[in-house]
Amino acid sequence: MSVIRIGSRESLLAVRQSELVMEAMRALCPGVELELVTMKTTGDKILDRTLDQVGGKGLFVRELDAALLEGRVDITVHSLKDLPMETHPELPVVAFPRRADPRDVLVLPEGAAELDRTKPIGCASRRRALQLERLFPGVEVRPVRGNVQTRLRKLDSGEYGALVLASAGLCRLGLEGRIARYFSTEEMLPAAGQGILAVQTRRDAPAWLESLNDPDARDCALAERAFVRVLDGGCSSPVAAYAVIEGEELLLTGMDETGRRQTIRGSRQEAEALGSRLGARIKEEKCHG
């Protein structure tokens, strides 16, 4: 393979994430020729409705999957939390690079020192909305769509009193200065895979790409996604999961659609099975409760 073509959404954040993976690829294989190929996905085009109204997270990967299958690109880079729980069988995720900060953050309008509770808090997921309603009782929570820059413009123009965004995205864009408050994972459980990138390829991809994998990120990703998969969680569900590696053990916290949380601990070698087990436990308790 003379030139490796990397497929990416065309937003500034998606491009920056792809560039991070490309930098890691060059470090692993000096002299490799890389080409970035950007495209607008269906999810980027439809901004007047929430994701659950227009078909879910798959809208962010459809065009990229097609480009991979047709050979127009050789790998694609995604925010893992944007990947559907079931991926195309011919397009394996070969690497999960090192995880960035998984926390959600509060962003205020430029120049503001505190939250204006008379204006809505903007967020793009039911997971955040459910938890925000408990953290800020009485404050309206309203959906907001668009890339990070679009959301910030809406915030600064006065449409919202605050936004809740992922720390990882803001920091990758060099916008950490906009962060007014970090939510602990106890306050706001992250989306499964938040802060983790996913490198997806065809089955004929170079084996060395697997060296981009970070073992901790991989095990957390497998556990979190297995939990959400069991509970049929997607973009229209507030189901969330967050795993932490502690030596050779993995501690997973899962949240169902009511906001109730449970944890499980076990060997990190059984990461995926732990996620499935916790999801099945919560599912069974709901059936009998």
Closest CA to 174 of 20, 39, 54: 20
How far is residue 77's CA from residue 62's CA, in Å, rounded to a whole number?
A: 13
Per the residue annotation, which of 44, 65, 74, 82 is the catalytic one?
Answer: 82
State the pairing for strand pair 197-201/179-182.
Answer: unpaired
- Mark whether 82 is an active-site residue: yes
Are 230 and 283 spatial neighbours (Cβ–Cβ below 8 Å)? yes
Closest CA to 48 of 160, 144, 161: 144
How far is residue 240's CA from residue 256's CA, in Å, rounded to a whole number?
A: 7
Catalytic machinery residues = 82
